Structure 1
Amino acid sequence: MRLHRMTVTAFGPFAGTQRVDFDALSQGGLFLLHGATGAGKTSVLDAVCYALYGGVPGSRQSRGRAWLRSDHAPPGTATEVVLELTVAGRRLELTRRPEQPRPKRRGSGTTVEKAVTLLREWDPAGDQWQARSRSHQEIGEEIGTLLGMSREQFCQVVLLPQGDFARFLRAGAEERAALLGRLFDTGRFAALERRLAELRGSAQSAVRAGDEHLLALAHRMREAVHEQQDTGPEDALPAFPECAPGEVGLPEAVLAWAAQAREYAAQRLAVGAEAVGFAGQRHESAQRVRLERARRAEHRRACAQLVARTEELRRAEPERERARQRLGLARAAEQIAPAHALRERAAADHRAALHREAVARGELPAELAECSAAQLAERRQRTGERLGELHGARRAEERGVQIGRELDRLDAEVRGSEASLADAESWLVRWPALREDAQRRLDAAYGAATAAEQLAARQEQVGARLEAARLRDGLGREVEAARERALSAREEAVGAQERWLDRRDRRLRGIAAELAAQLASGEPCTVCGSRDHPLPARPTEGQVDSAQEEAALAESRRAEQRREQRERELTEVRRRQERAAADAADGHAGALAAEFSAVAEELGAARRTAGTAPMVREELGRAEGEYERRLAAGRELGGRIASLTAEREALLAERDGLRREVDRLRDGEETVAATARRLEALAERLGEAAEAAREAAGTAQRGKEADAALADAAWKAGFDSPRSAFVAALDAAGQRGLQRALDSWQAEEQALAEAFADPEMRAAAEDPYSDPEAELAEAEQALAAARSALRAAETAHALARSRCLALARLGSQATAGARKSAPGRERADLVVGLAGLAAGTSVDNSRRMRLESYVLAARLEQVAAAASDRLRRMSDGRFELVHSDERVGRGARSGLGLHVVDSWSGRERDTGTLSGGETFFASLALALGLADVVAQEAGGTRLDTLFIDEGFGSLDEQTLDEVLDVLDTLRERDRSVGIVSHVPDLRMRIPAQLEVLKRRDGSRLRHRGTADG
């Protein structure tokens, strides 16, 4: 990388535009950058870094972009840095403008202008600059790729800050690791360490989880085995494995113990099966004995019950006789039942009639309650005649009510008509304003239509320019591609022509052999005419004949045709680009797009406004129609209100006449209808009372007749009175109950006789001295004991079988778990070993160095070797730097030691023991060595321009000469070194200088000892 020129405007302390010609400064190899404190020496280096990376070095970057702009710059001057450099064989020009405020183009105040980044490349063939990109991201990626280093690395290896390297010499291992890690990007190794640690943790967790699962299964198996412990000898139980999760050999121990537990459970299952068989036999025998004795006891109990029941039947014989007599009297009393029922119905009818008569008379007025049936009927007739007189009055009253409803309707219509009339009059008052507003909007729509036509024409013009600008920009890329194709075709044509000329030259050099091949013995030579050919020329290696020459000529002509075609294509694309540029009228695509969007927005607004014209015209037409309608409606409503008022007055007069007629017949009631309803209710109650009185007299006569018929029926049935017949009577249910009791006694006597005829029953009755109940109790006790023993044996056997199944299932799970965890355990062993080796904790890592430290140690060893070459020259062969990988105690990082070897004393000591001057040239040597190593690490990018910042004031004259000699070696390698220093002696030793002048209105730059100076 070599810097050529740089221009800074309104940047840092520089108010105006300042230029730096690095080519002129670098002619002597060394140049000096000096100036007063605070003048802006560091700002020159900041500008270089900002142009390349869009940021400044170190902590100054954290102060924000606003710091980049000069406080002395006028508001209209934009902050800008332009840097021209050569990197990777390409000459580039970088232009950067940060985000900054600028005055508004219209009105007062400021607006924020976005950051701008431009990249151009010099085209030697076209002898002009070619634009490459305007994207911040693309330019940043391309510059990073070409330089091969980040902004931090660039600031460390190109802008060499001596103070940082002096601290590096005296720093501890951790600080050195931080700096080297940033420069050599060893973060991937630290990430690898962390990843291995994470994998180790996850692998160990997985192993522990698998072991915990196996131990949980083992504990469940132990619980199953211990539940059987009381059924077998205690010494037969296997010893439970005592292992911790993650312990070596745990799966094997658990599986071995599970196999022993299953064998023990199988033995207990066999013992339980034998016990179940023995207990079953005992239970069957006890059941047979119990059944036999239960049958004998049942016969003895049945015999005793039969004897007792026979005695009970004998004692109940008088009761059976009384039941037979009672049943005979009840059947005789059934003969008077119809007469009794007739008499009961007559009594019930008489009671109901008396109740109805009392209720009907209770509803009558007090003066009518004691009247006879005939008197009540007469009063009922007179009430009916009065109701006839009220019929006409009720029609008059109903007409009055109808007239009231019609009056309410007329009042509502009058109010509605008056409201409609008021609404129409109110609208007619607003009509002039409505018409004026609609006319105004219609005029605005017509004006917008005219403006829309003008804006459409303007949009078409701007759109054409925008399309031309976009075509121009797109054709720029096509021009570049066509230029590349033309250049390639040109190179191919030149190459093809060179190959043809080469073949032609080789054929001419071997033409003698070609002519000799045409000679024939005795035939004259076409060149000399001789018929003798003593020594004809022979073809040499790589001989070219005419066919090969013609083929090369044809290929050259085709290549030339392709070149001419590519040239024509390039000319055509350039012509199209020029036409597009002329059509675009030098307009920027972005600005034209913004203008096109603004015009389109205005055009859309104008068209929307113009589009309202039909709607406004229609609205105005509807409003005019509404005006005519409301005017006519107002006139019609006035006439209707007058008509309704006249009709209302006529109805009021009719209603007054009807009211006088109705008031005469109301008889104190509120309405005639109420009077009629009262008389109707009275007539109805009078009729009901007269009817109830007649019915009560009739039911009394029918009761007397029923009493006589009942007495006659009782005498005929053999009873002295109806009362004695009633006492003997039974209902059907009672008679059925007596008959069932008699039938039951007879059936029970027959059943007892049949039971006594059974031989077993007779045998039980003939053996009164045995005790079947005691024998049965003894048999039941023996059966209960056998059943309990069988149930216990079956329970133990079922438990043993379930435990065997559980152990088999758990054992299968344990085997599957051990098999599943085996690969994870192997992987965990491998990952743990790798993580320990990378972390420096493994016994295999003899240096106890972490992986990142190991890589950084190798880089530091390269840096120390590269720095020692320069340090020996600076110190006149006295000092050299060496890397130390000695182990450091107390947990510090090992492998990043840096020592200095003093050849005068022959001892190796720490770099912290160097004096101030020694520290300077040691740090300078370290910086230069680090620059070489980092550049090599970054892809071998050659750094042709370096800057060294401060530190020369601590050197004596002799040491300063030695340091400058070392820097001269850089010049010998075609490098240029810029020294940033205040040391006055350097101004005498280095003729090429860039001076920074501090002034009140902003700093200035001045070249000395160059063509510009």
Structure 2
Amino acid sequence: MRLHRLTVTAFGPFAGTERIDFDLLSSAGLFLLRGATGAGKSSVLDAVCYALYGELPGTRRSNGVRSDHAAPGVRTEVVLEATLGGRRLEVTRSPEQWRPKKRGTGLTPDKAQTLLREWAEDAGTGGPGWVAFSKSHQEVGEELTRLLGMSREQFCQVVLLPQGDFARFLRADSKQRAELLGRLFDTGRFQQLEGWTADLRLRHERAVQGGRQRVHALLARAEEAAGPLAGGDAAAYRPEPDAPPAEVLGWAALLRVAAAERAESAGLWLAAAEDARAAARDRFAEQQALAERQSRHHRARQELLRLTDTAALAAPDRARLEAALRAEAPALLRGPRQRAADAHAAARAAEDARRAELAARAAAAGWAGPLDTPDDLLAAEGAARAEAGRLEAAGADEARHGALRAERARLERRRDEADDLAEEARRWLEPFEERLRQLQREREAAREARAELDLIDARHAELARRRDAAVQHLRLLGERTAAEDRVRALTGAAQDARQRALDLQERRLAGMAAELAAALTPGEPCRVCGSAEHPAPAEPSAGQVTAEDERRARAAQQAAEAELATATGLVGAIAARAAAAEATAGGRTADELAAEAEELSLRRRSVLHAAEHWLPLGRQLEQLERDGRTRSRQLSEAVELAAQLTGQLKAQDTELATLEGRIAAARGDAPSVAARTAAVTALATAAGAALTATRAAGHTAERAAETAEALHRAALAAGFAGPPELAAAVLPPDELDALKRRFKQLDADLELASNRLADPALQASAALPPAAAEAARAAAARADGRLADAHSAHDRARRRVADLARIGRELSALAAELAPVLDAFARTSRLAALLAGAPAENALRMRLESYVLAARLEQVAAAASRRLLRMSGGRYTLVHSDGLVSGTKRSGLSLHVVDAWTGRERDTATLSGGESFFASLALALGLADVVTDEAGGMPLDTLFIDEGFGTLDENALEEVMDVLDSLRERDRAVGIVSHVADLRTRVPAQLLVRKHRTGSTVHHTTREDA
């Protein structure tokens, strides 16, 4: 790349048009750009960068392009003629700016313009000339960047070696060096590779985390299903959530083995509980029957004792009755005889009725024993009552059987309802995923529309703000023009006031002798010479200036300058506000912004309809997801309930079968145990009644015989001494009958009590120890509870085995699915750690981008050292270091300087100011060489070095100039930007930049002119 000519108009500090002939300056190979501080030396380089890239260098990008000194009608423009890639090109750039309207008042915007032309030997007019290439900003930018082969940042670092940047680069830390080298060598792709690898690792990590969450969920389910089996010794083997799949599968297998052993133990416990329950039931029945017999024997013995005592107490009444009877017989022999016969007949009839009823009851109860004698009847009654006692337990079984059947019917209904509910949930869940995805797609579209609507609203508000700023900018430009006109008028007035004050000062100084003479007093010493004589005092001239005149002129000058400063500040404030308004408006007109806002309004109306569905679709989606969770929970609960109810039904079937066996054995041919109990109880009652009737019939028979015999022997057997005794013995009929009934019942009760007490079964039971019926009942109840617990434990154990088997299959499938994911995650993690410079995988803690930049820095250090050796008289070289640095900083981008005088490496921060300059310059030149090679070897025929020479002594400056002089090899031109006076005598070709109140100018000079 070689620069030929540069023309700037109203650019930076240059108010008018300035032309720079680089061909003239480059003829000597080395040229100097000099001028006072702030004159605009660096602005020449800014103009070159702006022409090539359409932007100022990075450190000055915030500065405006247009000159503040330019007249409103002068258009800002930069024209650069240069040879790029063997082609001679001319690029013209003009930024967007405001100019006065051609008609009316005010300002109007001029759009930015770009023009690229190429010199052709045949321009189509019969000879050489310029041919237009493009007017498109984008096309021109792409073409120039392609020909230059480097970005704007690279160009500014390689061609326009900036002030202080490489001194900072020399002392920078690794991070700062990485930022600069990354921009120059475009290593963003390596950073992107690091980011891509890190993102890939995160995706694999999310997949692994998702799998581990599923494993954790299955572990929780297995632990829940295992229950207490997961505690104790098994808890020590429980794997962590991120444990290897093999460890997880091993723990699941351990739980399954423990569950299988527990299920087998529960089966054995159930069998033992069933045997214990049967034995307890039998024991309870035996003890209950024994208790009933012992109770009957006790009651019979107590009854006999009571009746014996009663008979002893009634002995006098019995004697009266006997006497009355003896007395009654002779007189009333036929009456008693008849009554006795009638009583016997009635007793026989009652006995026949009771025996008929007894026969019916015996047939109903299936009694096959004899019923003829009282002993037979007594035995039948005892046997029936004993069997009734035994049937009480069977009655409890029958009641339990009925309750179980009712409960089973209820459980079957609940299981059917659970199955129906599960089927309904399955049918509802079949299309659920598709409905969910459809709603999600529709809501995502609505969300995008909503986001676009927000963007449109934000953009619309931004356009309104920018439109207001554009309107304000137009107004402020008018105000600035008026303010600038006022500043120019006030500037003239201030200059006039200053000139008048200076003139008055000079005139007063000229007439100071007359002013001093006017203050002399005869006889008093002069304040100037001290003489008391004043032979020839000066006379005041016409128009003599007094101190008061000078003071008023100074006050007028200060007032004019203060007013000018206020007006200048107002112009600056208006310019700042106008610049802010222009920046806010983005350089666009209010009409353009209004048109774009109208387009946005049209777009908003089209997007609003889709965005309005976002909330309804969100509510539908939330409702569908809630319904899905409800249905899934409903399905799970229904399936679990159905399984639970099925287990309960099986347990009830087992118990029903057991009860049915015992009930069948107890009821015999009867339709039920209750019917059997009623028949046996009725038999016992009928036997007792028949026994009573038989005994009564026997008594009446005896009584009839006695009265018959008494009637025959009445006279002899009465035993009375005489009628008084007979009369005294006669009792009234009522009293006599009452005594008869009383003693008749008493005798019958005594006989019945004796017969009951004489029952062999009762006597045998009474001889045994007291029955433990309640203890046997409690033992039977405990046996029932243990059996129920055993059934429940067995059911739980079987369900636990099934659940753990299912979870084990799911874990095996998940482990097979996670194996490749874990392998990929391990490899990707190591690769990402290596590329990111993690200490675990990267001993140097050097990222991939840092590694590439370190190689580039090593090349830069080698290229810089060749020039640094010459600049430092063979003393210093720069070396690249990839050693570890302290803390968490990355290594690989360290620079050291090797001092040949000591043979030691030391930090670049130890260099003096002059040494730092030529080390920085050497580093900058070396970086320029490496970047040039990186850009494809584009020759750089023009190079600029901006400042820094003031820190060098004479010898160091001589060495640096020798190195710079060597850069002219191969027809390379080097421009030095400096105001160091010593360079004026060393560099023949010079470009002088002068600053003025109305703007800077450039002048081509030579060493002689300087």
Task: Calculate the TM-score normalised by the size of structure 1.
Answer: 0.49
